[in-house]
Chain A
Amino acid sequence: MSDTMTDTTTRMNMIQAINSALDVMMARDADVVVMGEDVGYFGGVFRATAGLQAKYGKTRVFDTPITETGIMGVAIGMGAYGLRPVPEIQFADYIYPALDQLVSEAARLRYRSAGEFTAPITIRSPYGGGIFGGQTHSQSPEGIFTHVSGMKTVIPSTPYDAKGLLIAAIEDNDPVLFLEPKRIYNGPFNGHWDRPAENWSKHPGGDVPTGHYRVDLGTAAVVRAGEALTILAYGTMVHVCAKVVEEEGVDAEIIDLRTLVPLDIATIEASVRKTGRCMIVHEATRTSGFGAELSALVQERCFYHLEAPIERVTGFDTPYPHSLEWAYFPGPVRIGQALKKIMKDV
């Protein structure tokens, strides 16, 4: 990690941290442009781009027609010209119309042109559930993109990481999908939906430098050191896992992956070899989800160190429901039971 702390640090929620990252990058690099549905004058439906158009002008921050494939195709063309576009897809659930441009074009442009043309674009998109978003405001499609060669996939879990990772993503010369867990935009949701919401002011991850710093892509963070088992998680689930571990009194090592591709395999391997147990937690549906890749990697690389089968705790293989949200969401009960199962022979 090459985090370079700047002198001033202030309290930010994740929205403010993302807004700050965009502000910092737009000020540093005249080629950075922000585009998407409602991102301009209005400042975004989640306020992530608030104030940017007033500060940088309409040719650098602009509203677009409602066409995800158009947004992505135009961003790729702008990238080919030499700009560094940061398109927003309003909800990750609506990224599918842009799939062809992402998979067939952005991800392959460098490869197919032998480096003549590149797609230095960062696609920001709110993702994940826990907000009563129903079927089309809750999905976690990361596994679709981690399967695409030529794309990077990044998911932050704190305001500090969100800003540092987003800056690193914008500076990266390859296409990066930057998925923002909208459930934790305002606070580190711990899975207890029936208790008062927390905000970022009491969480150390809410201390964010005001200037430029990077959290390098491809680096995981050990958010809780432990000896009993390794928990691999990202996004909202990092906080849910931390709470369950605290409640169950298990000495778990929690790794926040932060970047899914390229994955920080060294940190994962070192941890599982130490603990001998591995639990993988994500909101996304189970079958062919990113957890399957993690499980396979751990099994291949840590087989002789494993003392129990690898556990996957995920969303169910159904579309994301509305009224049954908390039965679907991999919350404290499901994670707690998996913890007991993986630790039962200790």
Chain B
Amino acid sequence: MAEDPGAPMRPNMPRLSLHVPEPRFRPGDTVDFAEVEIPAAGAARRPDTGAAPRDFAELAYTMVRVLDEQGQAVGPWNPRLAPDTLRRMLRDMVRLRAFDERMFRAQRQGKTSFYMKALGEEAVAIAAAHALDAEDMCFPSYRQQGLLIARGCPLVDMMNQIYSNTGDKLGGKQLPIMYSEKRFGFFSISGNLTTQYPQAVGWAMASAAKGDSRIAAVWCGEGSTAEGDFHSACTFAAVYRAPVVMNIVNNQWAISSFSGFAGAESTTFAARGIGYGIASLRVDGNDALAVYAATQWAAERARTNAGPTLIEHFTYRAEGHSTSDDPSQYRSAGEPTAWPLGDPIRRLKDHLIAISEWDEDRHAAQDRELAEEVKAAQKEAEKNGILGHGLHQPLDSLFDGVFEEMPWHLREQRAQMLAEEEASGRPWARK
């Protein structure tokens, strides 16, 4: 019922107004992120891993940061990693960026239908993977391909999936980048947002119920925290003190919607955890050392039966949402470069250089080396075929795996499909 725009019903009350959030900058606007509050590195308190959830209120509104402006690691959250570990993390981040770059281009060349980059968010997945044990189970969203790279998944295998080719162990059934890698503790990615959140909590509950020592970790974007599954997962995690690390990657954008549409104008995403009784941290997501330290802290908390942790990784999605997205339609082109927390790779590189464990020449050489590695992997993967170059899977595999055993109605439909192929006269019918 549309109301008549006449006088208010109660003349002594103001007319109500609906607030619809609007991002600060739109296409063409000059970007100034001065209003983004960036606490100093080293300033955030580091509580005991057994601390009560209510002791985290202020940590959920500040930011755990380790790397300062001079590239030094400072404060109580400094994980004091060996230079070799730092170099391995840097190497994985560079490898991920090279992989993304190559696969994005492969999509533009028509070799696959779809791709999603993690540009600017490399630290979130890579540093977390380095802080977790290889046996811990990860429930990623679609932008944590860094977990696979850090855990040593062969790039060729990932590319095979992206190309839906003969080497794709998912048999061409899944959209590119929806990996499933049980051997690397990487749960099957679903297109439905945040469904993995309660699933991770359930996995962690099962591990606890069985007296196991493995923990679970889960990721979603800030936009997806608006899903009901986020709420139910937090409730379950808190109620059963599940050994789970719950990550929110706040990259400021959910496709074209800025984080205000998930509630960011009024709160932080870490602060949501406090209300559930979950220890909550907010970290500089472009600071690999902060991500590592927070993850390691949360993992220890989980492993010692002290309960779940929610971590908001404050970062920025430097690219479009996917190959199907054009960010210039809804945000200022100046945003990625103006982002006050910088580039996670550059910051870790600067730190290694500042502590005399790296130099620009080695970095440039590594860039070239990893670009070559990715290129070689791509060449290898393309031997198994690319999307659009004929059929890569046996036709009747379409019906495999709906159930453990194929019921009569699927057997009938399979026979029908094979008969259709026979009738079509196409050469790849029964390959």
Contacts and interface: CB of A to CB of B under 8 A. Distances in A.
B402 to A, nearest CB: 5
A113 B180 contact: yes
Interface stretch (A39-47, A59-67, A284-292, A334-342): A59-67
A211 interface: no
Interface in A49-73: 59-60, 64-65, 67, 69-70, 72-73
Contact of B403 (A113, A150, A263, A265): A150
Contacts of A251: none
Given A105-B195, A115-B401, A82 B188 contact: no
A306 interface: no
Contacts of A75: 202
Interface string B152-192: 00000000000000000111011000101110000110111
A116 B182 contact: yes
A262 B235 CA distance: 36
Contact of B188 (A83, A113, A149, A263): A113
Contacts of B198: 69-70, 72-74, 76-77, 101
Given A81-B203, A82-B206, A149-B402, A65 B232 contact: yes
A117 B235 contact: no
Contacts of B190: 104-105, 108, 112
Q: How many of chain B's residues touch chain A, expressed as a range?
A: 35 or more
Contact of B236 (A70, A79, A111): A70
A339 to B, nearest CB: 29
Interface in B191-237: 191-192, 195, 197-210, 216, 228-229, 231-233, 235-236
Nearest to B214: A81
A69 B205 contact: no
Nearest to B403: A174
B360 interface: no
A174 B401 CA distance: 10
Contacts of B174: 112
B407 interface: yes
B237 to A, nearest CB: 10
Contact of A81 (B170, B206, B409): B206
Contact of A150 (B205, B235, B402): B402
Given A74-B198, A117-B187, A149-B402, A65 B239 contact: yes
Interface string B396-426: 0000111110011100000000000000000
B206 A262 contact: no
A78 B188 contact: no
B200 A77 contact: yes
A340 to B, nearest CB: 33
Interface string A87-117: 0000000000100110011001111111111
The listed residue with most A CB atoms (<10 A of its CB), out of B191, B195, B210, is: B195
A83 B206 contact: yes
A102 to B, nearest CB: 10
B199 A80 contact: yes
A136 interface: no
Contacts of A272: none
Given A73-B197, A77-B205, A78-B203, A114 B229 contact: no
A100 B192 CA distance: 8
21 contacts: A67-B232, A67-B236, A70-B232, A73-B195, A77-B202, A79-B202, A80-B203, A110-B401, A112-B180, A114-B173, A114-B400, A114-B401, A116-B180, A116-B181, A116-B182, A150-B403, A173-B404, A262-B408, A262-B409, A263-B409, A265-B409
Interface of B: 137, 139, 169-171, 173-174, 178, 180-182, 187-188, 190-192, 195, 197-210, 216, 228-229, 231-233, 235-236, 239, 400-404, 407-409
